[in-house]
Structure 1
């Protein structure tokens, strides 16, 4: 079984539906029998069938979203058992909906992922339904992680980011992080959503107004040994502090600087992590000269130079930019001088003169 088959719920679902349809078309099975046989085949292959939506809702977007909206409301007592059963399938439903936002059709020159995400939000109200579910799942970190991950895939436009924020999403998102600061999947995906939302300047300010600086610092400090969490945290910090002196100051006031440096020190062998960290550091200090000595006192110059030496071109531009904006000694590379010649060798070749 392929690695993707072993770990992607959307592939489980797609394979399941293909087997069911084949059983119906080729073997003339009734749907119930076709479903049972398909599940048995997947179990025999080692697939965790808990992530399979086994009824006819799969692929029916309006029905799926209507059920999400129903689950977001408080269920009536007589529906509690059915609601609990449906709620257990939410991770699989979320995976299916995320699958609809992927550019996975290699037959076309331009994917329609953005358009699909727009339709799910604007025409089907999916973002609002997910947000209501998230509000009711703040004490369920695994489910919250799935809902947050799906929201990230849908916030592809500025107005959608504003819609999430305007619906109370920022408070709910940060509250889930406060309640489950050691849940790796939840915190990592929450950081990715923060990074996405921070692409909208209006929402970027609102995130910090909700007290995000303290939450971000605490979450990163708790999980700084986790590479992927550090990467998502650095990406979020970089987005929040880009062209924002106020946000940089708020993070510094929350003691984020020593936490950032400590996380960098733990992952010196990870070029991607260090690249994102250098971008975050650079954005924090570029418009805030008062923060530069705070970083330098923590030996950030030596640390970044170690990163440069270890990873070279993989981090070169970001590391040198960070050193420059930290007012540290740095040798900037002149990539091109405007003269003709072989750039890869440094040799200058005189142009041939036409015969007189």
Structure 2
């Protein structure tokens, strides 16, 4: 006996898969998905570009509003300017930042005196000279006293700055002095000869490459460099003598580049007496309130200086090529 009922037909996806136009439907779905992915990528790129632009604006605002000067400077106070770390262009103890802070301190009527809080091993004689000259100019213009207070170290270029002050205060264990100039480097000519390495240096000018560590130094070149160092050293000596005057007890070692403890520095006339910032403000200036005028670079400012130009250029380029959101 045969089944009179017909076999059930296959339904569902099998029928749809073979239905007319299914390929078109699939392609449309793929096209719509691709368009949506492109829109998302475009939105993401534009969001990143806007974020970079906002970052540049924020960092620029921080850079323009830097500084440690407080708002209330009308009351009598002691103005403090810190000189910390290496005295060098682009650093926190650069002439640009230190001079800016010192000028602000002198200009405020409430500042009874300016105290330089120094903790520096030295640095550039040029930067130190700029600071020293400006301190002396401002002292004459505003008729305000300047005191230097040494914490750990006041050596070389830092002492070059300190001698512009009317008095120098130190801790008994501070390191003071190092009145000298140096130029250092390395010479690898002997090692190169042993290794069989040939240095190929082309110059236009007989002495253009005389500081090259891979080339030999002639006696004439060495004498030239030494004469330059001696001249800068003599400038340093004159600044110290002018700043310290009769208080300085000159010995054969005074300008030899040696350094001494704070206690020894007082005995030699390199410093005046022991004391810290609080002591100077309270007992010497007679204004116990200490206001910090130091101008400091923070992390954001350093980012502005280091990356600001390239980021700004990228932001402008991004704005020019920004695609509209769809």
TM-score by length of 2: 0.29
Which structure has more strand as a fraction of its residues?
A: 2
Larger relative contact order (C-alpha < 8 A, sep ≥ 6)?
2
Which structure has more helix as a fraction of its residues?
A: 1
TM-score by length of 1: 0.28
**Rg bigger for which structure?**
2
